[in-house]
Structure 1
Amino acid sequence: MTTTDQGPPAAPVPQTDKLDSAVLKIAAVVVLGSIMAILDTTVVNVALQALTLEFKTSLATIQWIATGYMLALATVIPVTGWASDRFGTKRLYLVAITLFLFGSMLAGLAWNIESLIAFRVVQGLGGGMLMPAGMTILTKTAGPHRVGRVMAVLGVPMLLGPIGGPILGGWLVDSVSWRWIFYINVPIGIVALLLAWRLLPSDKPEPAEKFDFPGMLMLSPGLAALIYGVSDIPSAGGVTEVSVWLPGLAGIALIAGFIVRALRVPNPLVDLTLFRNRTFTVAMITNTFFCIAFFGAMLLFPTYFVLVRGESALQAGLLLAPQGIGAMLTMPIAGRLADKIGPGKVVLPGMVLIVGSMVMFTIVGADTPYWQLLSALFVMGMGMGCTMMPIMTAALQTLTPKKVARASSAANIVQQTAGAIGSAVMSIILAGLLAGKFGVPTSEGQLAATAALMNPATHDQAAVLAADSFASTFIWAGVLIALCFVPALFLPRKPPTPSDTTDSDTPHPAPPILTH
């Protein structure tokens, strides 16, 4: 079968250690697309208050701008692996950018809250395909011996998005217009589309496999229902509310049904035989704990600066910059080391840095010096640069090229679900602690703290109580990070050898984990 996609044909992977110019060009295209999707996840959060006033609606309704995007991501990710094989990864990537670009333009033109939510769903459908498709393209291009390096490149937008999003969003909302948080994607998207068309290698679609429609009807709605239920915990005030437990249980039931069926059919939507590879399984377990803790902690930092220290959203974003700088310093080094000495030897020191810096926040107060907080964030960023993408490197290094697309989809499903759970867990812990300090129901904890902090008569006492709540919540985040040490001990501590991967479809024994 031939493809009409323009662009250079896929060439044999050169067995060199360095990333050559061809790989770097492809990496630049993929990073550009990833930046759009990840930045848009965070940039909108800053504008929620302005959008509430613009459309004269409630906070519960306005939250669907973020929730709808996230649910669309969760819905489309499972299909990406099959679509990459069936239509070719380049074609899928071009479709994803086009869909995201189209959704961005429409969102900027939205005339009411309902149209904005609908157009955010269109954005999410495109954004959900960008990351796994981009990860597949990079991994196949670079080869298993350079996965660590390309994961380091792809990790830059993943770590900088939560930091750069609030800065960019705050500036656009304050100085330009809320519509530009969506319009900003248009020039980026056009450039990404043209570069992808020109530079990405053409790949031939695989022979058609029967699409797993029953699996899609179980997994995609199941993930969406589970993430919706978990995400509703903070606003609902607990897991006993119907809006939490009903979709949560329905999602778990659908996902469980999918797993049972996927183990029995020949071509399931997500290839669960990937988990026969012990290295992949260990990496996914580590990634789950890490994403729960990482995304939960990323929610706490800006909230602390805004709520306790009285900073604006833009200032809070700027205060998080040291974390991104730390990550940028260590991530390229960690990528090279993961290829040369094995991901396990890189991830464990990185987690030590994260846990050590988290100790600073477990004793945070209402007047903790900024230099201490920013120093801790810088060290934490260095640790994150050594952990997130080396974990993903371990997951993909020992897989056959044909399995990479399905593995990328599975890894992104894990990351998306764990991130939603982490954000909800940290939110409900913080809300519960604030509610206890201020003597109100859990769902009103943050509102009560905000009101008390805005009152000059109660500000000082409220700041101390709120800071204590944050410190206790950071203890839980530190515990979750510490739990990552257990599976991380079993990550590979040596680079993959040619015998670790093969082009055959038959499963091969995973490399020994304990005796490296």
Structure 2
Amino acid sequence: MGDDLQTLQQRFGPRYPQWLLAVLMVGSMAMILAATSINVALPAIMADFAIGRPLAQWLSTGFLASMTAGLLLAAWAQARFGARRTAQCGLLLFIISSLLALVAFAAWQLIALRIVQGLCAGIVQPLAMVLIFRVFADGGRGMALGIYGLGVMLAPSLGPAIGGYLVDNFGWAAIFWMPLPMCLLAMLAGQWLLPDQRLRSTPRLDVLAFVLLCVAIFAALGFLAEAQRFAWIAPRVWLTGALAVITVGLFIWRSRRATQPLLPLTLWRHGGFRSASWVALTLGLGLYGSTYLIPLYLQTVEGFSAGRAGMLLLPAGLLMGMASFFGGWLSDRLSAAVLLSAGLLIFALSAAGLAWVGQGASFVLLCFWACVGRIGLGVLLPALSTGSLDILSSEELAQGAGAITFVRQLGGAFGVNLLTFFLEWRHSAEGGDQWAELLAFKQSFWLVAGVFTITVVAAWGVKSTRA
């Protein structure tokens, strides 16, 4: 059976929940640092491997896509192997892939290793929320979630800042060894502190549905990536597109007939949940797309170093954490539709501001507009969680929380991909020179502003249907 939480609490005493919370924070922050710090290293990697943006963006989208798929394996892995074995194996594989990245000599090797890292992150991260809910069942859960959330919010801000400094002084390879100390610490402490209890009746994993979903996601991303480099009639373009359509259809067919579907499609029978999913997709695009687009713009157009580009996002991330706390307080007092609309419009204003400022704008002005956007995201995150789950029945809450997280991550993966597609298209259409580069980035920011503004229509549909 293994050590359960009650046994571990008796062994380590009343301070055990706090020690476990610290381990979970360290492990989650390591995964998030790896996800966000790569963006400041992209120009250096592109120069070193002589690749363009269509291929380099896979370092970000590949991680996000495999992380999205990994989320669906987390609950099954914890039930089948226990939290300790699941976390230890995930962290060990993450460490091995990070070390292999240091000796990679081709771009495709780095991309493959990033996909492995993303899968590990997708499996390991959801364990934290489950264990916090269980270990703090007798009280203090709200404070524990707040402390954990603060760490998770700080990590995306620290990632580009620390990563930028390391890239400037040690090269892009430093991005891959940066999270290793935290991973090793989480592995060492987790060997004693993580529960190892397994369920007698493990839910069956629908392997075929998982394979179909992974093929569908990567085929769709591959279709968009290849369309940036080749004509639409090229076999490598339309074949990947056709594969994506076929596998999506097969996945839906499989899920509708399964007794325990990998992704419960019945959740989307609620009109409010469908509206919340549109907001989640847009949120993912804004959260990960801006983290990708802003550092690239600062280094490519404004001539910032990787360290300076990362530092610009640091205060923005800190404000995002504060706004998230404030947004959580507001979510108990205002409707989700109002808060979601406000957050979307605030972020749209930020994207429009970045599109409006001219080349050579001051560090302070660029930082101001980045901060405005992070405030909008901070308001959006808690409102989306409460608004999407309040629509569902109590029996659907666990499935709904996983599904809305899956949709948000999917929006991040496709958001980065689509922004790269749009950026390359506009760069070519405007002439392909340095001036075209500036215009392409400006138009990309305007596109993001437009998408967030239009999504306000969906936000007004996020209303509770329960009495």
TM-score, normalised relative to structure 1: 0.76
Taking a change above 3 Å as real, the CA distance of residues 383 and 26 of structure 1, as seen in their structure-2 partners, is farther
CA contact (8 A) 1:365 1:471 kept: no
> Which range moves more in the overlay, 225-234 or 473-482?
225-234
Segment of structure 1 superposing worse, 196-205 or 292-301: 196-205
Deviations 1:444-499 (A, max 9, x none): x3xx32xxxxxxxxxxxx3xx54443333222111111122122223357xxxxxx
Shift of 1:331: 1.4
Identical columns (%): 26
Counting only pairs closer than 5 Å after superposition, residues 413-428 of structure 1 correspond to structure 2 as 413-428=406-421
CA contact under 8 A between 1:148 and 1:338: conserved in structure 2?
Answer: no
Structure 2 gap segments, 5+ residues each: none
Is the alpha carbon distance of 1:34 and 1:156 closer, same or farther for their aligned partners in structure 2, counting shifts above 3 Å? same
Q: 1:29 aligns with which of 9, 20, 23?
A: 23
Residues 356-435 of structure 1 correspond to what in structure 2 (within 5 A)? 356-396=349-389, 406-435=399-428
1:83 aligns with 2:69: no
Partner of 2:466: 511
Residue 211 (structure 2) pairs with residue 217 (structure 1): yes
| Cα distance, 1:356–1:49 mapped onto 2, change above 3 Å | closer
Deviation readout 1:226-250 (Å, 9 max, x if unpaired): 233234444x267555444422331
Structure 1 unaligned blocks of 5 or more:
12-19, 439-444, 450-461, 494-509
Residue 99 and residue 402 in structure 1: after superposition, are their counterparts in 2 closer, same or farther (change >3 A)? farther
**C-alpha deviation, 1:147, in angstroms:** 9.0
In the aligned structure 2, how far is the partner of 1:78 from the partner of 1:112? 30
Partners in 2 of 1:88 and 1:201 — Cα distance?
7
> Aligned equivalents of 1:395 and 1:10: distance in 2?
34
Equivalent residue, structure 2, for 1:175: 169
Distance 1:231 1:87 in 2: 36
The aligned counterpart of 1:249 is 242
Conservation of the 8 A alpha-carbon contact between 1:150 and 1:335: no
Query: Conserved in 2, the CA contact under 8 Å of 1:80 and 1:133?
Result: yes
Q: Which residue of 1 aligns with 2:265?
A: 272
How far apart, in 1, do the equivalents of 2:75 and 2:156 lie? 26
8 Å CA contact 1:328–1:385 kept in 2: the answer is yes
Distance across 2 between alignment mates of 1:403 and 1:193: 33
RMSD: 3.7
SS in 2 for 1:283: helix
**Residues 1:123 and 2:117 are matched in the alignment:** yes
Q: How far apart are the structure 1 equivalents of 2:189 and 2:217?
A: 33
Distance verdict in 2 for CA 1:204–1:340, change over 3 Å: farther
Q: Deviations over 1:202-246 (max 9, x none)?
A: 665262333312212312222222233234444x26755544442
Counterpart CA distance in 2 for 1:278 and 1:23 is 39
Deviations 1:146-171, CA, capped at 9 Å, x for gaps: 99877765655665555433332332
Match in the other structure for 1:502 = none
- Displacement after TM superposition at 1:293 (Å): 3.7
Do the aligned partners of 2:32 and 2:152 also contact (CA within 8 Å) in 1? yes
CA distance in structure 2 between the partners assigned to 1:296 and 1:62 by the alignment: 14
**C-alpha distance 121-303 of structure 1, shift in aligned 2 (>3 A):** closer
Counterpart of 1:511, as a letter, is: R
TM-score, with structure 2 as normaliser: 0.83
How far off its partner does 1:327 sit? 0.5
Shift of 1:27: 4.6
Helix, strand or coil: the match of 1:267? coil
Map of 1:479 onto structure 2:
450
Deviates most, 476-485 or 20-29 = 20-29
Q: Which residue of 1 aligns with 2:301?
A: 308
Tell whether 2:460 aligns with 1:489: yes
Distance 2:153 2:388 in 1: 19
Paired residues in the alignment total 461
1:165-189 CA-to-partner distances (Å, cap 9, x unmatched) read 3332332233235443222222101
CA pair 433-121 structure 1, distance change in 2 beyond 3 A:
closer
- Could you say what secondary structure the match of 2:259 adopts? coil
Distance 1:424 1:186, change over 3 A: closer
> Which structure has more helix as a fraction of its residues?
2
1:100 lines up with 2:94 in the alignment: yes
| CA 1:412–1:238: 2 relative to 1, 3 Å | farther
Query: Does residue 326 of structure 1 match 2:319?
Result: yes
Q: 2:247 & 2:63 partners in 1: Cα distance?
A: 21
Cα distance per residue 1:263-318 (max 9 Å; x no partner):
11212222223334555443222101222244333333222222222112221111
The 3 A distance-change label for structure 1 pair 74 and 330 is closer
